[in-house]
Amino acid sequence: MGARLIEALATTEPLAEIFSDKSVLEAMLDFEVALARIEAKLGVIPENAGATIASVANADAFDVATLAHDTLRGGTPGIPFVKALTEVVRKRDPVAAGFVHWGATSQDVADAALILLLKKAQPVLIGDLACTEKFLVRLSNQHKKTVMLGRTLLQAAPPVTFGLKAAGWLAAIRYGREHLENAFNDTLVLQFGGASGTLAALGKDGPRVATALARELDLRLPGAPWHTRRDRLATLICTCGVLTGSLGKMARDIALLMQNEVDEVAEPGGEGRGGSSTMPHKKNPIACSLTLAAANRVPGLVASFLSAMVQEHERGVGGWQAEWPIISSVIQATGLAAASMAEAADGLSVDAEKMLANMDATNGVVFAERASMALAGKLGRDASHKILSDAARKSAQRGVRLTQVLSEMPEIVEALDPNILRELEKPEKYLGSAEEFRRALISEGTSAQARNRRRPRERFRNVRSKKKEQ
């Protein structure tokens, strides 16, 4: 099921499918079927009951409109869903119907389904982020010597390289992706606690049913049910907030560089991409627009989730009910930003000549700092700074190059090495450690230490292995 028109600018097709009505139903059914199978296998419920429940669990057998209506009445999707599933099973086997949802509670099926949806979403997000990183590495390497204006407070500043700029985007996105992977791995844990989080309805069978159920669903088993403990989910949502901010920073830079007055880079175009309904000449930054829209939405959603964390006792009233739409929106917005920036990075065109032309259009005033630092050793920092401020102002007023103004000032000619004045406006001579920093950013996060860092899921498996050895 695709996204509705009103959500078309808030998600991608793969993520819209993951959070579609059918997919949500299938996730809840996966939980109930796994529970029935495990309980039947362990002898907690009759074997034929487990088989019957599994055989009729089909999302097409449910009326989504009715479930949605009844969810609003029941305050949770679990109640009407379990009731509907029970009726479907009853038509096949009245006795088996009595064992649907055995020992579980409505929040178990809702939370477990949510975790299963997040498990499906994880490779989609990580895949698009990995593509973005790969394309940015390529861009950075291709343009390690492509000189452009630095810009501070949106004003022209001493030169940088586009390779360094792309590497900065890369490092932030890679950092976010690594933390997102860890957050996902921490979050993908089973929810199964029964009425008050003690599995009392299953008696002594509770722990072994939970262990087998987690294994069946390929989820980690937490130390205890987490009905009102929402910290893992909160960490995931906050991580998405930071990541969309990093993606938004990249999008903002590209959008600014795409302005007609700047025109240094361009997103990939194509049929129906970046045009205008009235202005044929337009080449709009669509990927950037979608990413910035996501970056604008997500912080408020993060705040909403954090507000909803304060949940009462063993089952929350209001906080938990707020989460599904928040989590769905955050994951889809983050995924949209990741996919959009992957597309932009893959097809981004860079106009090195325009970058040089824009720098040249400043008449060399962006090299005032270089001249000031060269003079500071002889005239002092404050004096040299004042002289260069005056020279830059005269350059702008007269519309001539900074070097011309400086060459007309006796105190400059006397104090400044002629070679420095002659090469003052060569940007490649004033890049400082740009390339060293670029290489550091490219390699950041790819060291052996980072590669060998064990993830939570791996640590969990290692603990289990050591217990078996003992």
What pLDDT is attached to residue 452?
45
Are the C-beta atoms of 402 and 391 separated by less than 8 Å? yes
Angstrom CA distances, 401 to 155, 360, 415, 420, stand at: 18, 9, 19, 15
Bridge partners, residue 139, by sequence: none
Would you list the domain boundaries of the chain? 1-104+194-225, 108-189+227-360+436-470, 365-424
What pLDDT is attached to residue 377?
84
CA distance 249 to 384: 35
Instruction: Pull the structure tokens for residue 49.
Output: 């009951």
Q: Which three-class secondary structure string do you get for 8-76?
A: CCCCCHHHHHHCCHHHHHHHHHHHHHHHHHHHHHCCCCCHHHHHHHHHHCCHHHCCHHHHHHHHHHHCC
CA distance 115 to 117: 5
CATH number for the region 365-424 comes to: 1.10.40.30
Catalytically active residues are 276, 315
Bridge partners, residue 161, by sequence: 147
pLDDT tens per residue, range 243-258: 999 999 999 999 999 9
> Residue 469 pLDDT > 60, yes or no?
no
Residue with tokens 């390690």: 144
Band of pLDDT at residue 468, cut at 50, 70 and 90: very low
pLDDT tens per residue, range 427-444: 999 999 999 999 999 998
What pLDDT is attached to residue 411?
86
Q: Among 69-73, 165-169, 396-400, 410-414, which is the least confidently predicted range?
A: 410-414
> Residue 404 pLDDT > 80, yes or no?
yes
Q: Is pLDDT larger for residue 173 or for residue 282?
A: 173
State the pTM of this model: 0.90
Q: Is pLDDT larger for residue 417 or for residue 249?
A: 249
> Residue 449 pLDDT > 50, yes or no?
no
Are the C-beta atoms of 164 and 434 separated by less than 8 Å? yes
Query: Does residue 312 sit in helix, strand or coil?
Result: coil
What pLDDT is attached to residue 418?
84
CATH architecture classification, 1-104+194-225: Orthogonal Bundle (1.10)
In degrees and rounded to multiples of 5, residue 408 shows phi and psi of -95, 0
> Residue 108 pLDDT > 90, yes or no?
yes
Are the C-beta atoms of 212 and 256 separated by less than 8 Å? no
Band of pLDDT at residue 460, cut at 50, 70 and 90: very low
CA distance 470 to 466: 6
What pLDDT is attached to residue 464?
42
Q: Is pLDDT larger for residue 286 or for residue 451?
A: 286
> Residue 49 pLDDT > 50, yes or no?
yes
DSSP assigned state of 220: B
Instruction: Pull the structure tokens for residue 119.
Output: 């498990």
Angle value at C-alpha 285, between 281 and 288, nearest 5 degrees: 175
At the fourth CATH level, which superfamily is domain 108-189+227-360+436-470? Fumarase/aspartase (Central domain) (1.20.200.10)
